[in-house]
Amino acid sequence: MTTITIDLEKDPAVTNLRNYLRIRSVQPNINYDECITYLRGQGAQLGLPVQVFEPVPKKPVLVMTWLGTEPALPSILLNSHMDVVPVFEKSWTHPPFAADLVDGVIYARGVQDMKSVAVQYIEAVRRLKEKGIRLKRTVHLSFVPDEEIGGGPGMAEFVKTDGFKGLNVGFSLDEGLASATDDYVVFNGERSIWHIEVTCRGKSGHGSLLLPDNNGEKIRYIIDKFMDLRGESKKKLEDDPSLTIGDVTSVNLTQLHGGIHDNIIPEKLSVCFDIRLALSVDHQQFEDMIKRWCAEAGSDVTYTFAQKDCYVASTPLDNTNPYWLAFKEAAEKLNISLKPRTFPGGTDSRYIRQLGVRALGFSPMARTTPMLHAHDENLHAGTYLRGIEIYEALVPALANVDSF
Ligand code: ZN
């Protein structure tokens, strides 16, 4: 065992993270009791009051509160989700819930997404409190369930409650993504998720005939249209290297259904698409286009949505947003370079932004290969510790933003 690992083995902030990682809060059907017990303990250590809300039974939301010197000002929310995605244990070289520390690297499900960030918030607040620092605005640390299944029973419900309103949130930080370069990526918006199923009905009959009203022809038309759109987005990305996936509309065919036998033309065929609408897309026009395609494909072609996110405006990154100015200034002092982006997937930030509250996604992991949801998810302990220092600067900068 190397010296660096021995030192890290003894580091209390590393130990604290590893303890949280060992809790199997893995989807689906999570029992959050162990997380809540761990977090209550953290709150007690920090000397912060803890509230546990349960907007949905068995789906607790835990909030630690560090009262500011001007508690009437809108607060700062440091949000993280407690759940992690499932593992294919056989594909891991380290047990996913052992939090092994090898050559300075911690291996565990959730070490990037996003238990490291949760404990970084806790450790940063611990250090600030130990220095006797007081901040103007109240800082809330929230720990929510079920982000990995879309946040429906978690943040989506929590934001509707009086408990959330009582937090008086003015600005929120939540997860971002690791970055393989020296830059730290900060996300100020998300694309809207649409999951659509298009069903093509037509004349059923024997597979030896050439009957009219054929649903095979109809579904080909629909698939062509969606795949042409996919091709356009791919081309946009290829033609402009400054664009990232979050800047374009992505389209993927995810399911095909239909048919009962090799020589029978079925009554219906259906196809599902996972679409992420770029922030520049007009939702009404986009749906009108789909409606038109269905009409062009032939009779009895219909669509339904399994998910249809509304448009959520991104958080402005300009002089109108004093929290952003504070964030940027703190980053400059830390000598870290920020790269603003649109998040490629969905996070709980969208529920916060939907309320008109400014929110940024930020996971301080530079020079780190993004491994969220991957086998052998890992993070260098040094990167994790550096992240605590970053929050030690960011949290006061945000919580000391003057009233505006
Ligand atoms: Zn996450």
Q: Which residue, 308, 328, 349, sits at the end of a domain?
A: 308
Specify if 404 maps to a domain: no
For residues 212 and 84, state if they share a domain: no
pLDDT of residue 261: 96
- Residue 288, classed as helix, strand or coil, is helix
Helix ranges (DSSP H) in 81-190: 115-130, 155-158, 162-165
Specify if 4 maps to a domain: no
For residues 38 and 153, state if they share a domain: yes
For residues 31 and 64, state if they share a domain: yes
pLDDT exceeds 60 at position 326: yes
pLDDT of residue 4: 62
In the reported structure, the alpha carbon of residue 247 is separated from the centroid of ligand 1 by a whole-number distance in angstroms of: 20
Question: pLDDT tens digits, residue range 371-398?
Answer: 888 999 999 999 999 999 999 999 999 9
pLDDT of residue 250: 97
Note down the domain range covering 233. Answer: 192-278+280-308
In the reported structure, the alpha carbon of residue 241 is separated from the centroid of ligand 1 by a whole-number distance in angstroms of: 26
For residues 157 and 53, state if they share a domain: yes
Question: pLDDT tens digits, residue range 244-291?
Answer: 999 999 999 999 999 999 999 999 999 999 999 999 999 999 999 999
Q: Which two tokens stand for residue 361?
A: 């996604």
Q: Which residue, 308, 327, 353, sits at the end of a domain?
A: 308
Determine what percent of the chain is predicted with pLDDT higher than 90: 97
Question: pLDDT tens digits, residue range 170-226?
Answer: 999 999 999 999 999 999 999 999 999 999 999 999 999 999 999 999 999 999 999
Mean pLDDT of the chain: 96
Per-residue burial over 266-295, b = 16 or more CB atoms within 10 Å of its CB, e = otherwise? bbbbbbbbbbbbbbebeeeebeeebeebbe
Which whole number is the average pLDDT over 10-23? Answer: 97
Q: Which residue, 291, 308, 325, sits at the end of a domain?
A: 308
In the reported structure, the alpha carbon of residue 304 is separated from the centroid of ligand 1 by a whole-number distance in angstroms of: 28
The pTM of this model reads: 0.92
> Which residues are bridge partners to 206 per DSSP?
264
147 is known as an active-site residue: yes
How many whole angstroms separate alpha carbon 143 and alpha carbon 78?
A: 9
* Annotated active-site residue in 113, 123, 147, 392: 147
- Surrounding residues of ion ligand 1, Cβ less than 5 A: 113-114, 175
For residues 81 and 140, state if they share a domain: yes
How many other β-carbons are positioned within 10 Å of the β-carbon of residue 230? 18
pLDDT of residue 2: 55
* CATH code, domain carrying 55: 3.40.630.10
83 is known as an active-site residue: yes
For residues 152 and 204, state if they share a domain: no
In the reported structure, the alpha carbon of residue 2 is separated from the centroid of ligand 1 by a whole-number distance in angstroms of: 31
Question: pLDDT tens digits, residue range 97-129?
Answer: 999 999 999 999 999 999 999 999 999 999 999
